Amino acid sequence: MASELYSKEKTLELRRELIGSSCRLFFSEDPVKIVRAGGQYLFDEEGRRYLDCISNVAHVGHCHPVVAEAAAVQMKLQNTNTRFLHDNLVHYAKRLSETLPKKLCVFFFVNSGSEANDLALRLARQYTKHEDVVVLEHAYHGHLTSLIDISPYKFQNLEGQKEWVHVAPLPDTYRGRYREDHDDPATAYANDLKDVIDEAHKRNRKIAAVFVESLPSVAGQIVPPAGYFQKVAEHVHSAGGVFVADEIQVGFGRVGKHFWAFQLQGEHFAPDIVTMGKPIGNGHPLSCVATTKEIADAFAETGVEYFNTFGGNPVSCAIGLAVLDVIEKESLRENATQVGNYLMELLREQKVKHPIIGDVRGVGLFVGVDLIKDQEQKTPATEEAELLVERLKQEFIVLSTDGPGRNVVKFKPPLCFTACDAKFVVEKMDAILTDSSISYLGNSTENTQDRPPPKPVHSVSV
- The rounded radius of gyration (Å) of the Cα atoms in the chain is 22
Q: What per-residue confidence (pLDDT) applies to 440? A: 58
The domain that holds 103 is classified in CATH as 3.40.640.10
DSSP string, 317-365: HHHHHHHHHHHHHTTHHHHHHHHHHHHHHHHHHHHHH-TTEEEEEEETT
pLDDT tens track for 277-286 = 999 999 999 9
| Average pLDDT value over all residues in the chain | 93
pLDDT tens track for 424-443 = 999 999 999 998 767 655 55
Q: How confident is the model at residue 362 (pLDDT cuts 50, 70, 90)?
A: very high
Helix axes 382-394, 419-435, angle to 10 degrees: 120
Which of 329, 345, 367 finishes a domain? 329
CA 233, CA 186: separation in Å to the nearest integer? 12
Residue 452 domain-assigned (yes or no): no
Residue 151 domain-assigned (yes or no): yes
Facing residues of 402 across strands?
Answer: 408
Q: 227 and 217 in one domain?
A: yes
Residue 345 domain-assigned (yes or no): yes
Which of 312, 329, 346 finishes a domain? 329
Q: 207 and 322 in one domain?
A: yes
- Return the number of other C-beta atoms located less than 10 Å from residue 175's C-beta: 19
Q: 248 and 377 in one domain?
A: no
- Return the number of other C-beta atoms located less than 10 Å from residue 203's C-beta: 9
Q: 413 and 308 in one domain?
A: no
Spacing of C-alpha 223 from chain mean position: 12
CB contact at 8 A, 113 and 142: yes
Q: 336 and 293 in one domain?
A: no
pLDDT tens track for 162-206 = 999 999 999 999 999 999 999 999 999 999 999 999 999 999 999
Q: 295 and 199 in one domain?
A: yes
Q: Single out the residue of 225, 167, 232, 154 nearest to residue 194, CA to CA.
A: 232
Express as a percent the part of the chain with pLDDT over 70: 94
Q: 30 and 84 in one domain?
A: no
The amino acid present at 84, given as its one-letter code, is F
Q: How confident is the model at residue 453 (pLDDT cuts 50, 70, 90)?
A: very low
Q: 368 and 278 in one domain?
A: no
Q: Single out the residue of 70, 83, 64, 59 nearest to residue 311, CA to CA.
A: 83
Residue 375 domain-assigned (yes or no): yes
Q: 304 and 340 in one domain?
A: no
Give the strand order in the sheet containing 366-371. Answer: 357-363, 366-371, 408-411, 400-402
pLDDT tens track for 228-275 = 999 999 999 999 999 999 999 999 999 999 999 999 999 899 999 999
Residue 446 domain-assigned (yes or no): no
pLDDT tens track for 381-410 = 999 999 999 999 999 999 999 999 999 999
CB contact at 8 A, 371 and 441: no
Q: Is the pLDDT of residue 57 over 50?
A: yes
Q: 189 and 79 in one domain?
A: yes
Neighbouring C-alpha atoms within 13 Å toward the C-beta of 392: 28
Residue 348 buriedness (CB in 10 A; 0-12 / 13-18 / 19+): middle
Which of 329, 346, 374 finishes a domain? 329
Q: How confident is the model at residue 28 (pLDDT cuts 50, 70, 90)?
A: confident
CA 210, CA 228: separation in Å to the nearest integer? 13
The amino acid present at 267, given as its one-letter code, is E
What is the arithmetic mean of pLDDT over 433-456? 54
Q: 220 and 148 in one domain?
A: yes
- Sequence-separated contacts (24+) of 33-40 with Cβ below 8 Å: 33/8, 35/5, 36/63, 37/62, 37/63, 38/62, 38/63, 39/414, 39/416, 40/413, 40/414, 40/416, 40/417, 40/418, 40/421
CA 387, CA 330: separation in Å to the nearest integer? 36
Residue 1 domain-assigned (yes or no): no
Neighbouring C-alpha atoms within 13 Å toward the C-beta of 159: 8
Residue 71 domain-assigned (yes or no): yes
Domain count, the chain: 2
For residue 250, the surrounding DSSP H or E stretch is: none
The domain that holds 20 is classified in CATH as 3.90.1150.10
For residue 462, the surrounding DSSP H or E stretch is: none
Q: 13 and 108 in one domain?
A: no
pLDDT tens track for 302-341 = 888 898 999 999 999 999 999 999 999 999 999 999 999 9
Q: Is the pLDDT of residue 357 over 70?
A: yes
Q: Is the pLDDT of residue 3 over 70?
A: no
Q: What per-residue confidence (pLDDT) applies to 222? A: 97
For residue 322, the enclosing domain spans 65-329
Q: Which of 90-94, 131-135, 150-154, 419-423 has the lowest mean pLDDT?
A: 150-154
Residue 459 domain-assigned (yes or no): no
Q: How confident is the model at residue 158 (pLDDT cuts 50, 70, 90)?
A: confident
